[in-house]
Amino acid sequence: MGIAIAGIVPHPPIIIPKIGRGELKRVHLTVESLKSFSSQVAASAVETVIIITPHGAVFSDAPTILADEKLRGDFGKFRAPDVEVAAPNDLELVRAIEKSAAEEGIDVVLLGDKGLPATDTSLDHGAAVPLYYLQQAGVEARCVSINYAMLPYRELFRFGEAVHSAVHATGRKVAVLASGDLSHRLTKDAPAGYSPRGVEFDEKLVACVRDYRVQEILEMDEALVTAAGECGMRSFAILLGCLSGLNVKPEVLSYEGPFGVGYMVAQFIPRESGEVS
């Protein structure tokens, strides 16, 4: 038991067929890589999928976790309200993560029926897009949806280590997905405007993931990260913490940026090891 497979996944709603339609061909590499990764998650027969997303309730000082009995989301904000995803929440694991984080001095806020009341506890598109592909591949696992906090990368890495400890404490076999896009400033018509440093950031991050250079990712120049206009670094920091202590085989399945936003799909196949990453 433990973490059977992990991945970095993008979350553009345009890769949902009913939303993207004819534009899907422009993100062909991303779509095919997500299908391949999702098939591997299905083959691993995990009990629970943990998704770390940047687009839900993000607090400055504490990660949040959805705590409703059932997790649901749709794409109504993207003119496809009939495209829905749903999964039972793994509340035992949620509580174990809260406990493990508290033991490390890290606050976690639970949102929904079993936690702090919130006006909207639906799955955001950062979680719903990858969950859509997982379920299309036949994954029927429970789900845990975590929103990162605006904390330093090292602190989020430590939170990831606490998540890892909770997985072992519950005896779960899990997949962990870090949802996040890379630079939003790759081209003149990019949604966040253009920065020449966008390409620099994406090239460096993809290379670091490919070579599994964990320290370089955690210590990446903040000026470069800010200039790139990314939304995934904190998700990735938590994922790397989840993989701490494992002997990891990384593989970048694809990278492209056809709409001025960088999309990377990467997978990590971990094996237990005595060495800490």
What is the residue whose two structure tokens read 């976790």?
Answer: 65
Q: How far is CA 104 from CA 91, 127, 219, 240, 255, in A?
A: 20, 26, 22, 17, 35
Mean pLDDT of 91-100: 98
Judge whether residue 120 has pLDDT over 90: no
Judge whether residue 242 has pLDDT over 90: yes
Looking at every residue in the chain, the average pLDDT score rounds to: 95
Using CA atoms, how far apart are residues 147 and 127, in angstroms rounded to an integer?
9
> Which residue intervals of 9-122 are DSSP H helices?
17-20, 28-43, 91-103
Percent of the chain with pLDDT over 70: 97
What is the residue whose two structure tokens read 């694991």?
Answer: 93
Instruction: Write down all domains in the chain, each with its CATH number in brackets.
Output: 2-272 (3.40.830.10)
Using CA atoms, how far apart are residues 142 and 49, in angstroms rounded to an integer?
6
250-269 pLDDT, tens digit each? 999 999 999 999 999 999 99
Mean pLDDT of 199-221: 98
pLDDT of the residue at 272: 56
59-92 pLDDT, tens digit each? 999 999 999 999 999 999 999 999 999 999 999 9
pLDDT of the residue at 117: 77
100, 231, 27, 266: CA torsion to nearest 10 = -40
pLDDT of the residue at 113: 78
Using CA atoms, how far apart are residues 151 and 61, in angstroms rounded to an integer?
6
At 147, is the pLDDT very low, low, confident or very high (cuts 50, 70, 90)? very high
Q: What amino acid is encoded at 182 in this protein?
A: L
pLDDT of the residue at 218: 98
Percent of the chain with pLDDT over 90: 93
> Which residue intervals of 75-213 are DSSP H helices?
91-103, 125-136, 153-170, 197-211
Put simply, whether the predicted model's pTM sits higher than 0.75 gets the answer yes
pLDDT of the residue at 275: 38
Residue 264's H or E segment, with its range, is strand 263-272
8-32 pLDDT, tens digit each? 999 999 999 999 999 999 999 999 9
pLDDT of the residue at 224: 98
Mean pLDDT of 192-220: 98
Tokens found for residue 94: 């949620």
Using CA atoms, how far apart are residues 150 and 205, in angstroms rounded to an integer?
20
Using CA atoms, how far apart are residues 16 and 164, in angstroms rounded to an integer?
30
Mean pLDDT of 134-152: 98
pLDDT of the residue at 274: 41
Judge whether residue 241 has pLDDT over 90: yes
For CA atoms 166, 168, 173, 178, give the dihedral sign: positive
